[in-house]
Amino acid sequence: MRKRRVLLLVREDFVPPESIEGLSDKEIKPWKGEFDVREGLTEQGHAVEVLGVDDDLDAIDAALRRFRPHAVFNLLEEFARRESAVAFLLGHFELRGQPYTGCNPVGLLYAADKARQQRVLRQHRIPTPGFFNVARGKAVVRPRRMDFPLIVKSQTSHGSIGLTQASVVTDDASLRERVRFVHDELGTDAIVERYIHGRELYIGVMGNHRLTTLPVWELRLENLPKGAPFVATEKVKWDLTYQERVGLETGPADLTPEIRARVERVAKRAYRALEQSGYARMDFRLADDDRVYLIESNPNCDLTYGEDFAKSAELAGIEYPVLLERIVGLGERWAKAR
């Protein structure tokens, strides 16, 4: 295995300390993924330098000239306080011929806007919930084909930001109220989707042209109050205390071979339709009638050790440091093919 110089690119306030000894889970959580990736790459024998950035392109270029990395391991979810700007930063790397990990700029731009992503998927006849979007400053006009219940989300924010159980609406008054919340409190356009009652499934996809899927994973909320909508809210994603309260569990999904094969097939089709590369997590709903709906594709998903993507890879026989090694290799092969 070739030893490499790897520049680990992280958010400025997510630069991990050298040790986590004596720190609580709550203290560690914001930058645990960054710490795990650094440690995993170091375990593989690579020389890793961590660079924390906000919007300073000059600092990145200076590190590239000084360190001369074989690959940039990109963990940035936003640049210059914009998620969409990460795609343009990666375009800068492509112009320099600098290998980087994760999804390419085109795939990231498709994924950055949920409505744009849905339109591409529907053009390729990939099963998704029906949707419509409401731009800021525009009134809600619900199409007749869109029956309740519906779920209202930010069109461009990710990580379940702003998503609560109140995001599932059952009448026009609550629909207008929730769209107003997205517009005013989150400052983004709103996307309104048909709410699919059923099971929440995730599947990891890796590759550039030849694709590999990881075991299908399932999110369970064992203590969700009776009658409450099943939604992976912002609290479910990020609040450790709330996760314990609702009995959050994730693990391998118990599916029939036919349904598992269907999820894998649709995930690969969507990955290609959205022109993604590197790695991604596809979020599905398995409806009560066993139909599968692709809710969202998440390129450059969470790589934290012990989280869903890494755990499903481990179940497939890919240990965490090896997973990171493969991701670096995919980035290098993408650069060579350009």
pLDDT digits (tens, 9 = 90+) for 185-217: 999 999 999 999 999 999 999 999 999 999 999
Determine the pLDDT at residue 134.
97
* Neighbour order of strands in the sheet with 5-11: 47-53, 5-11, 71-74
pLDDT at 1 over 80: no
Q: Rounded mean pLDDT of 151-173? A: 94
Supply φ then ψ for residue 82, to 5 degrees. Answer: -130, 130
Q: Where residue 275 falls among pLDDT bands split at 50, 70, 90?
A: very high
Listed residue (253, 320, 316) closest to 290, CA to CA: 253
Mean pLDDT of the chain: 96
Determine the pLDDT at residue 91.
96
**Residue spans of beta strands (DSSP E) within the chain:** 5-11, 47-53, 71-74, 131-134, 150-154, 168-169, 190-194, 198-206, 212-213, 217-221, 248-252, 279-287, 292-299
Determine the pLDDT at residue 159.
86
Listed residue (90, 79, 86, 17) closest to 50, CA to CA: 17
Determine the pLDDT at residue 26.
87
Which domains does the chain carry? 5-101 (3.40.50.20), 128-194 (3.30.1490), 197-316 (3.30.470.20)
Determine the pLDDT at residue 309.
98
Give the model confidence (pLDDT) of 101-138 as tens digits.
999 999 999 999 999 999 999 999 999 999 999 999 99
Q: Rounded mean pLDDT of 9-22? A: 96
Q: How far apart are CA 133 and CA 105, in angstroms?
A: 24
CA 130 vs. chain centroid, Å, equals 21
Determine the pLDDT at residue 237.
87
The secondary element (H helix, E strand) that includes residue 227 is none
Among the residue ranges 33-37, 231-235, 295-299, the one predicted with the least confidence is 231-235
How many CB atoms are closer than 10 A to CB 5?
13
Q: Can you say whether the dihedral through the CA atoms of 105, 107, 111, 116 is positive or negative?
A: positive
Q: How far apart are CA 214 and CA 212, in angstroms?
A: 7
Q: How far apart are CA 250 and CA 240, in angstroms?
A: 14
Q: Can you say whether the dihedral through the CA atoms of 5, 16, 235, 173 is positive or negative?
A: negative
Q: Could you tell me the CA-to-CA distances from 28 to 16, 36, 170, 212, 323 in Å, in that order?
A: 9, 11, 38, 31, 22
CA 8 vs. chain centroid, Å, equals 18
Give the model confidence (pLDDT) of 302-320 as tens digits.
999 999 999 999 999 999 9
Determine the pLDDT at residue 209.
92
Determine the pLDDT at residue 240.
83
Determine the pLDDT at residue 100.
98
